């Protein structure tokens, strides 16, 4: 079925101890859309500046991403500059330039406002809600978020959560949101804000789903080399929603497999800078890794 | 088959934000032996002082633990005092009194030195090696350790590892030992010290096994209430070795189930102070939780 993804389309400059990679294609919607494209036809809602390289448009097109909702505005594309330590779990933001996304509040017209699956990839809750309110009859709405919005837009995030089916966030964010140290309790207590499903991401430790059928403890795909984890969480949720949108039937029946396919798609993201590794993988490679993961956890 | 466990038999004084619990039965061998007793007949090799409460002897006996190798020496039982923060992942040691274990180097005579499965529960590597060298024909030797020994007895630990089949340690310790940040690589690179099997404990995030058949990614049993995690790692390895000792056949065929039974046994440990919760569980309760865990991770 049809999938709309809204979020940031950005240029990321990423430093690691060994490498500098300026102005790579990044942003929550970019990572999520490419990840979802392995499973489903994706429509991307976003905005870029007049500095946005044509080669990145070509990259979207390579993945058959519908760009009718990608606006080009006068100004700079959202730019994020970050640096990772040797321990890739630690990173710091060196600079953020919001550029053209700062005041962007799009009109969502037909046929984009008729999509059944909606991924509100990580961006300002006001923007996520603005888009969601324009959708005609969404079947399933997933929202990703981050600590920044808990700090500066908690009220707006809480308003949004009343209207979403599934919330995705990190374990530290779940703890911060709920002031609950136990991550199982934190996940469960987030339902009271609205979402029927809550997925807590734990990075290399996998993810936890809390839903009507109880908990699902999902492993991450173990990697022996992490080059750049930027966008892994976005790839996870993109793969997840892409998988759901391509499988008929009850969400409850499909969500575990969707999470596993999301985690495997995210594992490819970590193996290269920006989208370099994700964009050269295939559905067949993803399926093989899902099968391998299934063997790795069997008992 | 027969199982010998050597390690510390201690009195633990445990503080949490809500509670003080002085002089509980603790120590690596105590937790491991009680955990193993749900699966196998256990012989305990240890030393206590003349202050050791008779009720704790009764607790061992309740679990049919063979105490012929439990010495009573003049002096104090090893005493550890620790305090947990609200986040139970953080604790600090307030006081340690080694007492009678400080100079203890036991003679292991028949029939104790004929046991097939050996658990060298966490204690000084010199003591672990001293016991191991006296064993006649061990079939499978597991050693647990901790950061303390990496800091003050690394050489002795490395000597020990040449003679053990399976090493168990925490993820932070695996990283410290190998100076390798990626925990998968850290686990794999520990084989070169000797052990055919390496198990890296990740607390609430489960464990990773690296062995001849590759990796196994094991979940932890999700708990919505952690009262006292003291001894959880010891319970994990105790349950694990107890399960192995009670199942004929190839280690490779049994180790995944052993890890799962160990992790479930450890989950009971966390639900009460000291051994309070472990000692009232049953094999049936453990089996039920193993079945529940199997459902929680199915996809």
Tell me which of B200, B205, B220, B258 to substitute to probe the interface with A (most A C-beta atoms closer than 10 Å). Answer: B205
Query: Coil, strand or helix: which one is B117?
Result: strand
Q: Provide, as residue numbers in chain B, all residues whose Cβ is less than 8 Å from the Cβ of A217.
A: 219, 222, 293, 296-297
Confidence at B90, pLDDT banded by 50, 70, 90: confident
Q: Which of residues 60-119 of A touch B (CB under 8 A)?
A: 86-88
Residue B214 with chain A: CB contacts under 8 Å:
296
Give the bridge partners for A199, in sequence order.
A168, A209
Residues B131-159, mean pLDDT to the nearest whole number: 97
Q: What are phi and psi of A232, to 5 degrees?
A: -65, -45
What pLDDT digit, counting tens, does each position of A212-266 carry? 999 999 999 999 999 999 999 999 999 999 999 999 899 999 999 999 999 999 9
Domains of chain A in sequence order: 3-297 (3.40.1190.20)
> Given a cut of 90, is residue B96 above it in pLDDT?
yes
The ipTM value here is 0.93
- To the nearest whole Å, the CA of A294 is away from the closest chain B CA by 8
Predicted confidence (pLDDT) at residue B88 exceeds the cutoff of 90? no
Arithmetic mean of pLDDT over chain A? 96
Quick: pLDDT tens for B48-72: 999 999 999 999 999 999 999 999 9
Name chain A contacts of B216, Cβ cutoff 8 Å.
296-297, 299
Compute φ and ψ for A77, nearest 5 degrees.
Answer: -65, 145
Q: How far is CA A30 from CA A134, B31, B235, in A?
A: 21, 50, 45
CB A9 within 8 A of CB A47: yes
Query: In the prediction, which pLDDT does A87 show?
Result: 81
| Cβ–Cβ contact A206 with B under 8 A | yes
Residue A283 has pLDDT above 90, yes or no: yes
Give the nearest partner residue to A224 out of B87, B185, B218, using CB atoms.
B185
**Is the omega angle on the peptide bond into residue A128 within 30 degrees of 0, that is, cis?**
no
Closest listed residue to residue B59, CA positions, set B134, B18, B9: B9
pLDDT-based confidence at residue A86 (cuts at 50, 70, 90): confident
Which member of A219, A226, A257 has the closest CB to residue B219? A219
Look at B219 and A294 and tell me if their CB atoms are within 8 Å. Answer: no
Span B99-124, pLDDT tens digits: 999 999 999 999 999 999 999 999 99
- Residue B17 pLDDT > 90: no
High-pLDDT (> 70) share of chain A, %: 100
Q: For position A17, what pLDDT does the model report?
A: 86
Residue A185 to chain B, least CA–CA distance (Å):
6
Residue B1 scores a pLDDT above 90: no
The position carrying tokens 């032996």 is B33
Does A284 have pLDDT greater than 80?
yes
Q: Which of B16, B184, B262, B297 to mutate to probe the A interface, most A CBs <10 Å?
A: B297
**Residue written as token pair 């000692």:** B279
């Amino acid at each position: 079925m049809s999938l709309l993804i809204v979020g940031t389309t950005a240029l990321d400059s990423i430093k690691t101890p060994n490498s500098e990679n300026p102005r790579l294609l990044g942003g929550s919607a970019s990572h999520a859309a490419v990840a979802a494209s392995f499973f489903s036809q994706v429509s991307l809602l976003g905005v870029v500046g007049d500095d946005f390289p044509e080669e990145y448009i070509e990259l979207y097109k390579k993945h058959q991403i519908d760009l009718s909702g990608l606006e080009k505005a006068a100004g700079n594309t959202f730019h994020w500059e970050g640096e990772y330590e040797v321990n890739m779990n630690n990173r710091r933001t060196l600079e953020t330039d919001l550029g053209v996304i700062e005041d962007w509040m799009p009109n969502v017209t037909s046929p984009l406002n008729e999509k059944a699956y909606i991924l509100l990839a990580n961006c300002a809750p006001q923007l996520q809600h603005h888009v969601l309110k324009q959708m005609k009859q969404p079947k399933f709405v997933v929202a990703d978020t981050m600590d920044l919005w808990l700090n500066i837009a908690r009220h707006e995030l809480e308003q949004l959560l009343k209207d979403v089916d599934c919330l995705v966030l990190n374990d530290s964010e779940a703890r911060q949101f709920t002031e609950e140290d136990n991550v199982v309790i934190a996940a469960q207590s987030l339902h009271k804000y609205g979402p029927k499903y809550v997925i807590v991401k734990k990075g290399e430790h996998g993810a936890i789903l809390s839903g009507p059928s109880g908990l699902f403890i999902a492993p991450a795909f173990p990697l022996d080399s992490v080059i750049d984890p930027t966008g892994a969480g976005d790839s996870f949720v993109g793969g997840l929603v892409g998988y759901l949108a391509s499988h008929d039937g009850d969400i409850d029946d499909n969500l575990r497999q969707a999470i596993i396919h999301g985690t495997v798609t995210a594992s490819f993201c970590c193996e290269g800078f920006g989208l370099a590794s994700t964009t050269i993988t295939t559905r067949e490679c993803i399926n093989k890794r899902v099968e391998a993961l299934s063997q790795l956890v069997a008992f």
